[in-house]
Amino acid sequence: MSLNFPLMFDDHLKFYFAEDELNKNLKYLTTLPSEMVTCHLKIKDDLILAGLPIFFATFNYLSDKPLSFEQFLEFEGKRFSKDDKKEITFELPFNIALSGERIALNLLQRMSSVATFTSKLVDIATPVKVLDTRKTTPGLRTFEKYAVTVGGGNNHRFSQLDCFMIKDNHKVFFGGVKGAVDYYKSLVSFYMPLIMEVHSLDEIKEGRECGVEHFLLDNFSPNDIAKAVAIKKDAMTYEVSGGVTFENIAGYAIDGIDAISSGAIIYNAPTVDLSMKISRK
């Protein structure tokens, strides 16, 4: 992994720092000492650390002379225990460390929270794949979805048009399954996959007759999932979604299911505890 890729996220960082209003007090900015200090990233929870590339890129965004932090990327994706009282130490100019600390920590903490929670769901659901959704925090989708992969999960759609997905609103507007399928087929996107959200066995059968191969079983009970698996054909894929939580995901990891998607993998991730302290050299 390289630290170069976060350069494409300068627009994100520009927005985050604008929100922090660093330009509000010019005297403060110009008088903060720039002598080198030692920074101690303290890991205070049981967690999987995710987001170090963007954590360090946040400090470099503020610096005229970017520093190299490649050696610390060995910790990315590693599992830590709070009992180890682990610290990652590095050096920064004091003004850069102080000005970037909160934004860098916010991003690292959020990504580590998502990665840690994802790992717990993956452990329960294996061998069924665990997917995220587009239910992400505005402005943080790329980072949260990256964190899902660090935790062992898989990404679903990044945007509305990564694939075509027929949902209830499409079926209502276009007059049912066939009308919605015909609309998307009219777009003649040769390589674009088509997924259909279904709520019954009849919708699966109707979708299959229209040539749909990928089905999202929305709010199916485990009993209904078993019935759906019984009519599953070769080349068809089943994704279970709707109301999936840490407490019930095991009940959906049924043989014949290819994936389980959950918005909770991101929006319900419990926050992990990280902090950064500074000491003079």
For the chain, list the domains and their CATH numbers.
5-115+270-280 (3.90.1170.20), 122-267 (3.20.20.70)
For each of the chain's 281 residues, which pLDDT tens digit applies? 344 555 678 889 999 999 988 888 888 888 889 999 999 999 999 999 999 999 999 999 998 877 778 888 899 999 999 998 889 999 999 999 999 999 999 999 999 999 999 999 999 999 999 999 999 999 999 999 999 999 999 999 999 888 999 999 999 999 999 999 999 999 988 888 899 999 999 999 999 999 999 999 999 999 999 999 999 999 999 999 998 989 999 999 999 999 999 999 999 999 999 999 999 97
The structure's pTM equals 0.92
96-123 as b/e: b if 16+ CB within 10 A: bbebbbebbbbbbbbbbbbbbbbbbbbe
Residue pair 11/67 in contact by the 8 Å Cβ criterion:
no
Q: Which positions ≥6 away from 13 have C-beta within 8 Å?
A: 57, 58, 61, 103
Distances from the Cα of 58 to the Cα of 29, 102, 139, 187, 272, angstroms: 17, 10, 15, 41, 20
